[in-house]
Structure formats: structure tokens, C-alpha cells
Structure 1
Amino acid sequence: MFKFIGAVLVIISGTGIGFKASENLILQNVQLKKLKELLIILRGEIRYNNTVMPQALRNILKKSDKVFEKFLLYVADNLDKYQGKTVADIWNEGVDKELSKLMLSKKHIEKLKDLGNTLGFLDKEMQISYFNLMIEQLDTDIEDNNKRCRDNCKLYRTLGIMGGILVVLIIV
């Protein structure tokens, strides 16, 4: 009786691990799309509204996804305080503190830090060009992630189930 219950629990655990891996891949893609939307909105604020950075971040706070809310508030509040730090320093601190919790890869975190290094440093047109470049790169990454998800999501789920069954067969 206990062997049967243990076997069922191992199979359920393996299945859960497979489904969680699949879900993480899907979630990463969703967050990349939300990040792209955020960058498009921020680019528009800089290009058309000519607002200062803290106000631009607060403006897009209303239009952006909840997952970026703490990041935007952190950067806007610290820019308002002006403690002798550059925009890039505050942006990078916000990325490390708030966005590293998301499902974004290290590559995307580094790209966001690079973006922060251009804010307040380059002229408006160069900033817009960098936003355009980053949005194009995100488009490519989203396409790659979609392909990876199509190829691997079902595989992860199946491997989770089969891995659980294999462990049960080895143990029993």
C-alpha cells in the first residue's frame, strides 16, 4: 500500500516538474513581450512628450504591466531624490533589485543595463535609436522563444511524466 502511494507521489512530482519547466518557458516569453511593450511606451514618452525621466516613468507606470511596477517606482523615486547618482546607476540598481526576480535571462538583464547606460547620457535621437535596436532584438528573442516553446514545452511535460515513471521503476 505504501509503495503504491509513494509511486503515485513520485510520478505526480515528476509530472509537476515537467509542467513547471514548460510553464517557465511560456512565462519567460510573456515577460519578454511585456518588456517590449514597456520599452515601446518609454520610447514614446521620450520621443513625443519630452518629459523628464522620473515623470516619464510614472506616466508609463499606468500603462505598463504590474510586473514592472516596483522597478519603475524604484527608479522614479530614486531619480527624484537625486543622491548624486547617475541615471545609469539608479537604473542598474533597479534592474538588479527588481527585474532580476523575473524570468528574464541574464542576456536580457544585461541588455537592460546597457539601455540604462544610455539614458541621460546620450542625446535624445541616440536614445531613441538604442530603444529601436533593443526592441528589434526583443522581437528576435520572442520569435526564438516561441520556436523553443513549440519544440520543448510538450517535451518537458512528457519527460516529467516519463522521468517520474522511470524513478518508480528503478525504486520498485
Structure 2
Amino acid sequence: MVKLIGAALILFAGTMIGFMQASRFASRPRQIRQLGYALQRLETEIGYGYTPLPEAIGRCAAHLSEPAAALLRGVNQRLSEGNELTFKECWEQSVTAIWPGTAMKAAEQSALIRLGATLGISDREDQIKHLRLAMQQLKAEEDTARDDQARYEKMWKSLGVLIAALVVILIV
């Protein structure tokens, strides 16, 4: 009886590990798309609304879902604290603070950090160009993430179950 319960627990744990890994592959394209949408809203606020950057970031954060909203809220919070940080430093700190909680990889992080280094230091047209460049980079990464999702999501689901079954067979 104890062996049966142990085998069931091992199968459950292995299956859940596989499904958790698969969910990371599934959530990465969605999160990249959300970041692209956030940059698009920021572009609209800056380009058409003539909104100052801190105010534009606050407005965009109110209408977005996580993790993009957390990124913009973090930037806005750091800017409003008045602790003598530049916009670039606030942006980088916010990106590195939220990054462990996302399913995204280093390529997306470096694109965002490069964008943060250019926002707020030039005129409106130049900022829009940099936002569009970052959106193009994120779009390319989203396509790669979709390919990875199609390739690896089902594999991880199956692999979790199969490895757990192998462990149960070896134990019994």
C-alpha cells in the first residue's frame, strides 16, 4: 500500500514538473507580446499625446497586464522617489527586478535595457524610432519563442510523465 501511494506521488510530481516546464514555453511568447504592446502604448503616448515620459509610463502601466505593468510601475515608482537616479538607472533596476518572475530570456532583457538607455535623452522622434526598433527586436524574439513553444512544450509534458514512470519502475 505504501509503495502504491509513493508511486502515485512520484508520478504526480514528475507530471507536474513537466507541465510547469511546458507552461514556461507557453507563457514566453505571451509575455513578449505584452511587452511589445506596452512599448506600442508608450510610443502612442509620447508621439501622439505629447505626454512627458514619466507621465506616459504611469498611464501605460495602468492599462497593461503583468509583467509589462510591473516593469512600468517599477520605473514610475523609482522616478517618483526622487533619489537622484537617472531614467536609465530606474529602467535597468526595474527590468532586473521583475526579470526572475518572467519566462523570458536574456535576449529580451538586453533589448529592453538598450531601450532604457536611449529613452528620455533625446527628442520625441528619436524616442519613437528607438521604441519601434525595440518592438521589432521583440517581434523577432516572439517568433523564436513560438517556434520553441511548438517544439518543446509537448515534449516537456510527455517527458515529465515518462521520467516519473521510469523512476517508479526502477523503484518497484
Provide TM-score, normalisation by structure 1. Answer: 0.91
How much has 1:59 moved relative to structure 2?
1.4
1:122 aligns with 2:122: yes
Preserved contact between residue 54 and residue 77 of structure 1 (Cα < 8 Å)? no
- Farther-moved stretch of structure 1 (155-164 vs 84-93): 84-93
| CA shift in 2, pair 1:56/1:6, >3 Å | same
How much has 1:45 moved relative to structure 2?
1.1
Q: Equivalent pairs: percent with the same residue?
A: 28
How much has 1:49 moved relative to structure 2?
1.2
How much has 1:75 moved relative to structure 2?
1.6
How much has 1:81 moved relative to structure 2?
4.0
How much has 1:136 moved relative to structure 2?
1.2
| Whole-Å separation in 2 of the counterparts to 1:106 and 1:121 | 24
Preserved contact between residue 29 and residue 145 of structure 2 (Cα < 8 Å)? yes
1:20 aligns with 2:20: yes
Q: Which runs of 5+ in 1 are unaligned?
A: none
| Whole-Å separation in 2 of the counterparts to 1:114 and 1:84 | 21
Q: Write the deviation string for residues 132-155 of structure 1: whole angstroms up to 9, x where unpaired.
A: 111112111111211211121111
**Which residue pairs with 2:112 in the alignment?**
112
| Whole-Å separation in 2 of the counterparts to 1:45 and 1:139 | 20
**Which residue pairs with 1:98 in the alignment?**
98
Report SS of the residue matched to 1:49: coil
| Whole-Å separation in 1 of the counterparts to 2:123 and 2:37 | 22
| Whole-Å separation in 1 of the counterparts to 2:75 and 2:160 | 40
Preserved contact between residue 22 and residue 152 of structure 2 (Cα < 8 Å)? yes
Provide TM-score, normalisation by structure 2. Answer: 0.91
**Which residue pairs with 2:69 in the alignment?**
69
Preserved contact between residue 31 and residue 104 of structure 2 (Cα < 8 Å)? yes
Q: Which runs of 5+ in 2 are unaligned?
A: none
Preserved contact between residue 100 and residue 109 of structure 1 (Cα < 8 Å)? no
1:53 aligns with 2:53: yes
- Farther-moved stretch of structure 1 (131-140 vs 76-85): 76-85
What residue identity is the alignment partner of 2:62? Answer: K
How much has 1:124 moved relative to structure 2?
2.3
Report SS of the residue matched to 2:47: helix
**Which residue pairs with 1:149 in the alignment?**
149
**Which residue pairs with 2:171 in the alignment?**
171
| Whole-Å separation in 1 of the counterparts to 2:143 and 2:70 | 27
**Which residue pairs with 1:11 in the alignment?**
11
Computed over aligned residues only, the root mean square deviation of the Cα atoms, in angstroms, reads 1.6
How much has 1:38 moved relative to structure 2?
0.4
- Farther-moved stretch of structure 1 (131-140 vs 155-164): 131-140
**Count of residues paired in the alignment:** 172
What residue identity is the alignment partner of 2:83? Answer: Q
| Whole-Å separation in 1 of the counterparts to 2:130 and 2:14 | 43
| Whole-Å separation in 2 of the counterparts to 1:126 and 1:105 | 27
- Farther-moved stretch of structure 1 (110-119 vs 79-88): 79-88
